[in-house]
Amino acid sequence: MITTNINKAAKALQNDDIIAIPTETVYGLAGNAYSENALKKIFAIKKRPYYNPLIVHIKSVSSLSTIASDVPTMALKLAEEFWPGPLTLVLKKQPHISDLITAGKETVAVRVPNHPIALAVLEKLDFPLAAPSANPFGSISPTTAGHVFDYFEEELEVILDGGSCERGVESTIIGFEGNQPVLYRYGSISVEEIERVVGPLLFTVNNDNTPNSPGMLSRHYAPITDTYLTNHVADLVHSFQGKKIGLLLYKNEIPNQEDAIQEVLSENGHLHEAATKLYAALHRLDKSNLDVIIAEKFPDDGLGKTLNDRLQRAIKK
């Protein structure tokens, strides 16, 4: 089930099977992007609605023209700057790209992953991979092979183990309206980094009806346990006296809360470290038989915006 055998993974994909692969962001549920049969299996295993598009993973920038057409100059600048890496571009699709991938839209989301195992698998294939995150639709994203196993022990024959994901949150997604770049999803590359390359972005990050990309639904990335997001953790803890509480904290534990389970993401206050640890901490808390998870808001700059975005979509209120 969990394996490091790249040849076994490639063979399964060539047989239209669905496997889990590691990327630098989160683990993906991968299948042949040119196979309608494989694409339908992805949606079925994940229980993902067909109106939510998939991301196509390619092996190099030079492969982009096989997936997308009429690529804007700004998109090429971003690809040259950030690929391989956690940036997804939403571009006009080539005619052969399935409507299952694009939710019937004329645009396709595409990226080059920056993980040696994912790239090694792609090198062995003559097709790209459609690969949403390897979790049931709406659940916490997986950042280890063990997370995937817990979700899909019965459904997947191959879970390719690449260790813990280096980035820990999903790719940043950029689309284009005319020649204007638009942020569709906060991700592992900060807005500030993107804007240094292409200038100011427009923002369209929520759409529950016809999303232009993954990650735009208002409820997503969510634990089963009721989760709250606040700037005032201690006050909210007080309101849940007598409950089993888990705390998801940025830098410091809350004093005098010996009965609470506390997860501190970065004692040194590094947002990159916090992002890397976010989902793993949520997985642990969600398995701890708690009544409630209380998450602390992050500074609203750089990757803090991404972390707040993920928690905002996970919360009960």
Cβ pair 39, 128 in contact under 8 A: no
Q: Is 284 annotated as a binding residue?
A: no
Q: Is 147 annotated as a binding residue?
A: no
Q: Which of 259, 317, 255, 264 is nearest to 290 (CA)?
A: 259
Q: Is 48 annotated as a binding residue?
A: yes
Q: Is 218 annotated as a binding residue?
A: no
Longest dimension (CA), the chain: 61
Cβ pair 166, 80 in contact under 8 A: no
Q: Is 62 annotated as a binding residue?
A: no
What per-residue string of b and e applies to 23-58 under the rule 16 or more CB within 10 Å gives b?
Answer: bbbbbbbbbbbbbeebbbbbbebbebeeebbbbbbb
Q: Is 185 annotated as a binding residue?
A: yes
Q: Is 131 annotated as a binding residue?
A: yes
Q: Is 141 annotated as a binding residue?
A: yes
Q: Is 184 annotated as a binding residue?
A: no
Q: Is 52 annotated as a binding residue?
A: yes
**Binding-site residue positions for ATP:** 48, 52, 107, 133, 141, 185, 221
**Binding-site residue positions:** 25, 48, 52, 57, 107, 111, 131, 133, 141, 171, 185, 221
**Binding-site residue positions for L-threonine:** 25, 57, 111, 131, 171
